[in-house]
Amino acid sequence: MERAVVRLTLFGLLVSLAASQPKKEDRDIYSFHINSTVTSRYATTIITSRVVNRMDESKEIEFHVQIPKNAFISKFTMLIDGQVYDGVVKTKEQAQQQYTAAVSRGQSAGIVSSVGRTMEEFKTSVTVAAHKKVTFKLTYEELLKRTHGKYELQIHARPMQPVKDFKVDVYIHEKAGISFIDVKGGLSTKALANAITKTHADKQAWVYFYPTEDQQKTCDSCGEQGMNGDLVIVYDVNRNNGLGDIKTSDGYFVHHFAPSSLPRIPKNVVFVIDQSGSMHGRKMQQTRTALIHILNDLAEDDFFGLLSFNSDIFHWKRELVQATSLNLEGAKKFAQNIIESGATDINAAVLEGARMLNSHPREGETNLENIHSNVRQAIAGKFPLYCLGFGFDVNFAFLEKMSLRNSGVARRIYDDSDADLQLKGFYEEVATPLLTDVEMIYGGGTNLTQTNFSQYYNGSEIVVAGEIIDNNIETFRPQVLAISRKRKVTFVNTHGSVDSSAGTVADGLLQRVWAYLTVKQLLEKELLVSGPEKEKVKSETLELSLKYSFVTPLTSMVVTKPQGENTDVLHKPKEGEGAGHTKYLLLYTLSSFFNGISSLISQ
Ligand SMILES: *[C@@H]1O[C@H](CO)[C@@H](O)[C@H](O)[C@H]1NC(C)=O
Ligand SMILES: *[C@@H]1O[C@H](CO)[C@@H](O)[C@H](O)[C@H]1NC(C)=O
Ligand SMILES: *[C@@H]1O[C@H](CO)[C@@H](O)[C@H](O)[C@H]1NC(C)=O
Ligand SMILES: *[C@@H]1O[C@H](CO)[C@@H](O)[C@H](O)[C@H]1NC(C)=O
């Protein structure tokens, strides 16, 4: 009787974000290039902007771009009058000192990147003499994450004016072969559609986007100031359903594991819906809509429960029932009649959800630390907890901590017209569990990133990177142990050893992927630990960030400039920094059993 257990709480609150309007400047960008190279899902993007000051006097020239939140900036340079100025990644304290010293010399300036839905902002400026030129060059890196069966590379273009020589060049190289590639986003539509060239040849693909100045003024989100929008490159790779895709080079390896032809594991789901007064209006409507869609997607062998809460709890049924069409009709009627009113008691609701699976009820908590420990006791590592923040008035750090402690993830839902789709999209990411208790094992490997995963969902991907001891590929033996629907499964490579990828990936690339993943995971771990361990994790993260020159929440980049100019310091903002109190979360839980049958899947 293997069974996944899902519990879902949806809450909402409204805060609107006013987009700050950039002011028009006297400057002339004569060339703007975005060059993205993706190898083995690791994207390195370089934005190069060349600007001339056409005035008869010196002028402050701004460089202002957006990069994906998931990315780390790794390099920034300015070239002014033959002189190169390199940004330097330092510890936050060192950068702050430099910044403070500059401020005390009367040179105040600073960049704090602001946070949009998926993007962060990078902004700096420099004074350029009359009729002189400046070249800005920014590099950022990110590991593309597979969701809903695809990778997405998001490129934001807003040069702030039509540019004569505007180019986006994307090159993708995937050893496993590219199964499809699409170009989406606002910049791929209407007048701009024919500015795109797409070439796809088995393991490689190219996307070129070369809009003319006229085209740059006539797209949906374009105007006199030129383009303002996204180009989203969507693709996936071929899968062999075995051990997956392993690349090795320079003593490092990166393993992508995403089998899809496995049976789904039926789940037990409890949907816990916030119906307090703060859900008024659109949020409640969107939550109802999302819930009804999600109910429609349950399979007949799933079991589910449904309750709503404000300061009280309202059950549809006290126990889980099978997702038969009759039961689903009843639940949908209940869902349609959920009306917002009253205050919120998250703790009671979460715990009631847990009781329906566990009989571990607790009562009446408002203190966040107590909620943490209550939830942890109720869940007790038996299933993961996913949290979903709704709107901007959410204490995201709280949700994140609670989910990470229960081997889930936290996700922000943006209070927007598509909130129901965001809720549904997130649910779909975790709707089809294929494996549980996944253990990635690497004989002959060391310094591994996370290797144990409590579950693997269809459409996602598990990525592990590490070092190969003595760079000895002959003795390197990867394998995966996991529990599938009714059996224990082992994934191995029947050729024995793994092929070297030497020559197919750039030198040092896999090492950077390893560093990127390690830093990302350490940053998550840092949230969970305290005392001396926290300090240890921090110093490890810091060391790697500095070594690989990543701008992370622990480092800053000091932008060097000509003598006498303002010092800019670039920080990476933390998700949800400065947010208010907790209101909204989604809980998703899953557990599994296995009946002792084992099997071997090899490639
Ligand atoms: C883009 O960057 C890659 C890697 O740095 C380089 O090989 C390639 O020539 C660049 N392409 C263009 C069009 O600048
Ligand atoms: C998993 O996803 C693949 C590709 O989208 C699909 O063909 C397959 O049916 C899915 N498996 C399950 C169990 O839903
Ligand atoms: C990798 O692990 C070895 C010990 O196994 C350690 O000495 C070394 O410092 C580690 N390398 C990195 C980059 O962490
Ligand atoms: C991974 O899980 C296995 C089996 O439960 C356990 O023996 C091992 O210690 C775990 N490894 C890590 C790094 O947590």
pLDDT tens by residue, 252-278: 999 999 998 898 887 776 777 777 777
User: If you search the block for the tokens 């899809």, which residue do you land on?
Assistant: 260
pLDDT of residue 111: 56
**Would you say 96 and 570 are in contact if contact means Cβ atoms under 8 Å apart?**
no
Ligand 2 centroid vs 2 CA: distance in angstroms?
A: 19
Closest ligand to Cα 522: 3
For residue 473 the two structure tokens come to 């590929």
pLDDT digit string, tens, across residues 344-378: 666 666 667 666 655 322 234 445 555 566 666 65
pLDDT of residue 351: 66
Strand partners, 253: 248, 466
The CA distance from 557 to 425, in Å, is: 35
Ligand 3 centroid vs 469 CA: distance in angstroms?
A: 10
Confidence of residue 4 (pLDDT cuts 50, 70, 90): very low
230 pLDDT above the threshold of 60: yes
Q: Which of 435, 437, 439 to mutate to test the pocket of ligand 4 (most atoms within 8 A of CB)?
A: 439
User: Is 23 buried (19+), middle (13-18) or exposed (0-12) by CB count in 10 A?
Assistant: exposed
Closest CA to 52 of 78, 77, 31, 22: 31
- The CATH number of domain 6-13+264-433+588-602, selected from 3.90.850.10, 3.30.530.20, 3.40.50.410, 3.30.70.3280: 3.40.50.410
| 155 phi/psi in degrees, rounded to 5 | -120, 120
What's CA 350's distance to the chain center, in Å? 25
The verdict on the CB of residue 197 being under 6 Å from ligand 3 is no
> Pick the residue with more confidence: 59 or 34?
34
pLDDT digit string, tens, across residues 65-96: 889 989 999 999 999 988 999 998 999 888 87
- 3-state SS class at 397: helix
**Would you say 272 and 9 are in contact if contact means Cβ atoms under 8 Å apart?**
yes
Nearest CA to ligand 3 atom 10: 447
Nearest CA to ligand 4 atom 4: 439
pLDDT of residue 390: 53
Ligand 2 centroid vs 23 CA: distance in angstroms?
A: 48
Q: Which of 167, 170, 171 to mutate to test the pocket of ligand 1 (most atoms within 8 A of CB)?
A: 171
For the chain, give every domain's residue range. 6-13+264-433+588-602, 24-238+550-571, 245-262+434-547
Ligand 2 centroid vs 133 CA: distance in angstroms?
A: 53
Spatial strand order of the sheet with 245-249 comes to 245-249, 252-257, 462-468, 445-446
Q: Which of 446, 449, 452, 594 to mutate to test the pocket of ligand 4 (most atoms within 8 A of CB)?
A: 452
pLDDT of residue 510: 94
pLDDT of residue 152: 97
| 281 phi/psi in degrees, rounded to 5 | 75, -130
Mean of the pLDDT values across residues 403-418?
68
Residue ranges lining ligand 2, Cβ < 6 Å: 149, 260, 263-264, 432, 458-459
Please count the residues of the chain: 603
Identical fold for domains 6-13+264-433+588-602 and 245-262+434-547, yes or no, is no
pLDDT of residue 357: 53
Q: Which residues contact 42 (CB under 8 A, 6 or more apart)?
A: 141, 142, 143, 144, 254, 509, 512, 513, 516
Atom of ligand 3 nearest to the CA of 467: 1
The CA distance from 304 to 298, in Å, is: 9
Q: Which residues contact 376 (CB under 8 A, 6 or more apart)?
A: 405, 406
Nearest CA to ligand 3 atom 9: 447
pLDDT of residue 239: 86
153 pLDDT above the threshold of 80: yes
Mean of the pLDDT values across residues 581-600?
35
pLDDT of residue 81: 87
pLDDT digit string, tens, across residues 154-165: 999 988 899 999
38 pLDDT above the threshold of 50: yes
Nearest CA to ligand 1 atom 14: 35
Mean of the pLDDT values across residues 474-500?
82
The verdict on the CB of residue 602 being under 6 Å from ligand 3 is no
Ligand 1 centroid vs 169 CA: distance in angstroms?
A: 8
User: Is 243 buried (19+), middle (13-18) or exposed (0-12) by CB count in 10 A?
Assistant: buried
DSSP 8-state class, residue 202: T
The CA distance from 314 to 312, in Å, is: 7
Ligand 3 centroid vs 447 CA: distance in angstroms?
A: 6
The architecture in CATH of the region 245-262+434-547 reads: Sandwich (2.60)
Nearest CA to ligand 1 atom 1: 35
Q: For the chain, give me the number of helices (H) and strands (E)?
A: 10, 33
User: If you search the block for the tokens 């969701």, which residue do you land on?
Assistant: 147
Confidence of residue 234 (pLDDT cuts 50, 70, 90): very high
Strand partners, 124: 63
pLDDT of residue 148: 94
Point out the least confidently predicted range of 94-103, 282-291, 386-395, 492-501: 386-395
Ligand 4 centroid vs 499 CA: distance in angstroms?
A: 27
* CATH class, range 24-238+550-571: mainly beta
Nearest CA to ligand 4 atom 11: 452
User: Which of 196-210, 360-374, 392-406 reaches the highest mean pLDDT?
Assistant: 196-210
The CA distance from 354 to 351, in Å, is: 5
Confidence of residue 292 (pLDDT cuts 50, 70, 90): confident
The CA distance from 306 to 287, in Å, is: 13
The CA distance from 232 to 90, in Å, is: 32
pLDDT digit string, tens, across residues 536-571: 999 999 999 999 999 998 898 888 788 777 777 777
pLDDT of residue 104: 67
The verdict on the CB of residue 447 being under 6 Å from ligand 3 is yes
For residue 270 the two structure tokens come to 């409890």
pLDDT of residue 309: 73
pLDDT digit string, tens, across residues 214-226: 888 877 777 788 8
pLDDT digit string, tens, across residues 318-328: 877 888 999 99
User: If you search the block for the tokens 């190279």, which residue do you land on?
Assistant: 37
**Would you say 425 and 589 are in contact if contact means Cβ atoms under 8 Å apart?**
no
Spatial strand order of the sheet with 133-143 comes to 83-86, 72-80, 133-143, 42-52, 28-39, 165-173, 204-209, 196-201
Atom of ligand 4 nearest to the CA of 448: 13
Query: What whole-number percentage of the chain has pLDDT above 70?
Result: 74
User: Is 224 buried (19+), middle (13-18) or exposed (0-12) by CB count in 10 A?
Assistant: exposed
- pTM of the predicted structure, to 2 decimals: 0.82
Residue ranges lining ligand 4, Cβ < 6 Å: 439, 451-452
> Pick the residue with more confidence: 331 or 416?
331
> Pick the residue with more confidence: 122 or 592?
122
The verdict on the CB of residue 37 being under 6 Å from ligand 1 is yes
21 pLDDT above the threshold of 50: no
23 pLDDT above the threshold of 80: no
